[in-house]
Amino acid sequence: MLGSTVQAQTVVLAVFMGGLALGNRIIGARSDLLRRPLAAYGYLEGLIGLYAFFFSAIYGLADKMFVGVGSKIYENAVGMLLLKGVLSVGLLLLPTILMGGTLPLLAAWLQKQSTDPGRWSARFYSTNSLGAVCGSFAAGFYLIQSLGLVSALQITALVNVIVGITAIALSRRVSEEPSVQSAVAGAVTAEVQGPMPMRWATLLVALTGAVSMGLEVLASRSLALIFGASKS
């Protein structure tokens, strides 16, 4: 739909990260209010897996819409760009919003379970990033080549559903009530933090995020010039 140009990569990356940010904002703002955040995390992972399993069919509908509408406005460059943008947002927004809500739910669960949630959140995030690296390598160099795109997508989607079911099962075995130590630590943190330091911290995080995403696009473009625009 978008091709393999740097503009296409930029649009997909922006939509993907925008969905993550929106999900983090919507779900993260309510994660502390949930009685069973680990169970909610499991349900989100299950929904993400189901969406990914049926994504080929969903994409087929979007592709038919693209051909039907695009053939009428083919000579309108602005209209074609808007059509591609709308369809890209439509395809990626729901799963990325759900993905964006997974980490806040885990953080809320750790806040209730651990006396040192910051350390455990860092461990969870680093483990998640390591898994993302392994998943990217496996998908690009093995799964797609050996199984095909649709089969690889559906198999990994089923793994995601299993992860969700496992999280729901674990939530029924462990208590999700906040410990006394975590409740006291949260109250102390809320008293220490003021609005101005958080605003400056938010600006700095936004700036580093913008630089990181810009570097990712530039690095990918440089590697594409060297190795070509293959899926690997």
Whether this prediction's pTM lies above 0.95 is answered by no
**Rounded mean pLDDT of 75-91?**
84
> Rounded to an integer, what distance in angstroms lies between the CA atom of residue 143 and that of residue 149?
8
**Rounded mean pLDDT of 81-104?**
87
What is the separation, in whole angstroms, between the first and last Cα of the chain?
19
Sign, CA dihedral 220-86-20-37, equals: negative
Least confident of 21-30, 70-79, 142-151, 185-194: 185-194
Residue 55 confidence (pLDDT) above 90: yes
Residue 189 confidence (pLDDT) above 90: no
What residues does each domain of the chain span?
Answer: 6-192
